[in-house]
Structure 1
């Protein structure tokens, strides 16, 4: 298919913070999972790779009581983060996964949250993460996996998004192999229960913001038709139900 790369400076930054805002229940679920898989070493420095608008960056600082460096290549996303996700222990800096502005062996924990599929040179990024992470440090990666696609509501209204995800995201085996070659051991795979909206109406409102990068690969007609069907069902909803799904969290240890 040859999908184009998503330019967050051009399109995604505007509605991302609101469209991808974490519900408190989901933030708690993820932080609980991060804590569980972070290992036993003392954590003083965390790197949030692809930190975006800072959805998790301040929460990581609070959870671990550590300095957190949010590394984000998009200047516009960093601008939003500085305004909406500031924290005394958080610093946002330019950079990307294959060129991190950190010293060797300086990070005790790294997070990549729905970032891995955007990384063009995955082996180079894995080697760079190995460079900046201390021996025994954990890398936590929340990602979709092509061979473990979930039954997402998104696929019901925008059917081609499932096909796109199957192409964009790597498999579990491919991901484990890339990190093994760079000096990481695969030490965990968990499913985290994520609530993206408390009702279909709220979910529809989020989709109107086009904050999912997969929409950049749909035609305007596909997006418009899917949104219209979603909004019609949302208007007919009489008893609000939460929109939930399981999400994969991978853990790797720097050996």
Structure 2
């Protein structure tokens, strides 16, 4: 079963920045993970591929004290990034994974955060990432792998979202094999546990913004029913409990 591509210019840009905003504790978690998997080399230039509203682009700039280029095909998402995620070391430019406006070997680090499953031509993107990364540097891919599913809170309220994710996300084996053919070696794989919200009530407020791309594949009724159940549980929450989840972070080294 195929799923339509998510049009970020039409829908997702509106609530994405607020709905997916990083909590300070999660920002620190991801900064630490990026540093640990970066390979230990000095980073002088990085690229955030599919940078969206710039949720992680300034994180890279702060952690590595280096200029970062955020490459994003959606004009609306870039417009939000320029307002919400401006940073003196960050530049946001149009482009996509299979056609990066970056010179050969000019990047010491590349990040794709929940982007890989959206890329239409994955072989072309893998070759392009190999072109822009200098030998010995790292590509970091944060994603869900279909053969390493997570038990996300979202699935409790939107059961079909699990099925959709298993169809949309690639497997670890297929991903590693594709990048091996493009000139990358698998370096590390870790599961990063991060906080999405400090309470179910906060999580519910975020979900009202429909900032998860999987919601674009659900019917209006599925979304309404799931939100009604979530709203009821949030209203009954007497002691706030953080909502946390796991995400795989795969590090690949450019040969």
- TM over 0.5, shorter chain: yes
2:244 corresponds in structure 1 to 244
CA displacement at 1:246 relative to structure 2? 1.5
Task: Give the whole-Å Cα distance in 2 for the aligned partners of 1:86 and 1:196.
Answer: 22
Q: Name structure 2 gaps, 5 residues minimum.
A: none
1:165 corresponds in structure 2 to 165
Question: Deviation digits for residues 66-118 of structure 1, max 9, x if unmatched?
Answer: 01000000000000000111111100000000000000000000000000000
1:44 counterpart = 2:36: no
Q: What TM-score results when the alignment is normalised by the length of structure 2?
A: 0.99
Provide the secondary structure at the position in 1 that maps to 2:230: helix
1:146 counterpart = 2:146: yes
Question: Deviation digits for residues 211-241 of structure 1, max 9, x if unmatched?
Answer: 0000000000000000000000000000110
Q: What TM-score results when the alignment is normalised by the length of structure 1?
A: 0.99
Task: Give the whole-Å Cα distance in 1 for the aligned partners of 2:41 and 2:242.
Answer: 36
CA displacement at 1:59 relative to structure 2? 1.5
Task: Give the whole-Å Cα distance in 2 for the aligned partners of 1:143 and 1:2.
Answer: 19
Task: Give the whole-Å Cα distance in 2 for the aligned partners of 1:58 and 1:28.
Answer: 12
Matched residues, number: 255
1:130 corresponds in structure 2 to 130
Over 3 Å off, 4+ runs: none
Task: Give the whole-Å Cα distance in 2 for the aligned partners of 1:124 and 1:30.
Answer: 27
1:15 corresponds in structure 2 to 15
Task: Give the whole-Å Cα distance in 2 for the aligned partners of 1:150 and 1:90.
Answer: 32
1:227 counterpart = 2:227: yes
Question: Deviation digits for residues 36-90 of structure 1, max 9, x if unmatched?
Answer: 0101222100000000000011111111010100000000000000011111110
1:94 corresponds in structure 2 to 94
Task: Give the whole-Å Cα distance in 2 for the aligned partners of 1:199 and 1:177.
Answer: 39
Q: Name structure 1 gaps, 5 residues minimum.
A: none
